[in-house]
Structure 1
Amino acid sequence: MPLDASAPVRVARPSLDLRAAERFWALGLGLDVLYRHEADAALGHSALLMVGLPGASWHLELVHDPAAPVEPRPTPEDLLVVYLGEPVPDALVARLEEHGGKRVPAHNPYWDTWGVTLRDPDGYLLVLSTRTWSNG
């Protein structure tokens, strides 16, 4: 089977402001900018920003097409959950808020019990969970 546990995963979604997104995800959360591409109308390329952790098998791709921007349409259940396995540091929440995030109550109270929910500049939700997770 071509799909296995080591298959890289990309989560891609639209962004209206890649600079604001970079401040939140890189400066706020601490992800690295893995790749950046500016828009090129002549080639039909959108601008994109990929953030993640070096060596991880996943990354987040944020895309913006200045010629035809796609409005982000997150729902209350569109969550990116990061399992910290420890209490969420107040300093991390403050840094995310300083870089464009907004702490919000979770739609599902489970996440308020087990973490902190923040809205990113495009309206998508990041949950920092105190729990651990394993697919094993």
Structure 2
Amino acid sequence: MINSTTHVRVARPSLGLKAAERFYVDGLGLDVLWRSTKSAPGEHDLLMVGPAGGGWHFELTHDADAPIVPAPTVDDLFVVYLGEEPDEALVERLVEHGGTRVASHNPYWDEWGVTIEDPDGYRLVLSSRTWAS
């Protein structure tokens, strides 16, 4: 049964796991939860990042033999509800670690946060709201 303690994995292709790790780990502050390199035909390199002990994580994959080009849209968002204004030092750190600050497609997110594209073009929103607000 799915409930509030159900664990969630979001999987995305990446053209560069080192760049993705730099953005999500060194920039955003997530932890590397698992890493592997392909060891058999048909397998791919894998990087899992998320909060240690959390109920969710990103699985970022890359297959050098048959890469999948990420195809994010302006509405593919990973929203982090901070409950306070995003710290400008965090935004700057994300940019320094491969992100690009962009205007949001939906003005709601510009009103309530900051949007940064990761190295693969997916969008991270640092929201000043809380989940319940």
| TM-score normalised per structure 2 | 0.97
How far is 1:43 from its partner?
4.1
Q: Deviations along 1:24-48, whole A, 9 cap, x unmatched? A: 00000000000001122x3421101
Structure 1: runs of 5 or more not aligned = none
Q: Is the 8 A contact 1:32 1:51 kept in 2?
A: yes
Identity of aligned residues (%): 62
Alignment of 1:51-130 (within 5 A): 51-130=49-128
1-side partners of 2:106 and 2:96: how far apart? Answer: 25
Name 1:133's counterpart in structure 2. 131
SS at match of 1:5: coil
State the AA in 2 paired with 1:90.
E
| CA RMSD of superposed structures (Å) | 1.2
Q: Distance in 2 between matches of 1:115 and 1:3?
A: 29
Q: Which moved more, 1:80-89 or 1:43-52?
A: 43-52
Q: Normalising by structure 1, what TM-score?
A: 0.95
Contact 1:15–1:21 (CA<8 Å) still a contact in 2? Answer: yes
C-alpha separation between the residues in 2 aligned to 1:54 and 1:28?
16
Give the aligned length. Answer: 133
- 3-state secondary structure, aligned to 1:94: helix
CA distance in 2, matches of 1:31, 1:5: 21
C-alpha deviation, 1:5, in angstroms: 1.5
Q: Which runs of 4+ in 1 moved over 6 A?
A: none
Gaps of 5+ in 2: none
Where do 1:37-52 residues align within 5 Å? Answer: 37-40=36-39, 42-52=40-50
* Separation in 2, partners of 1:5, 1:96: 29
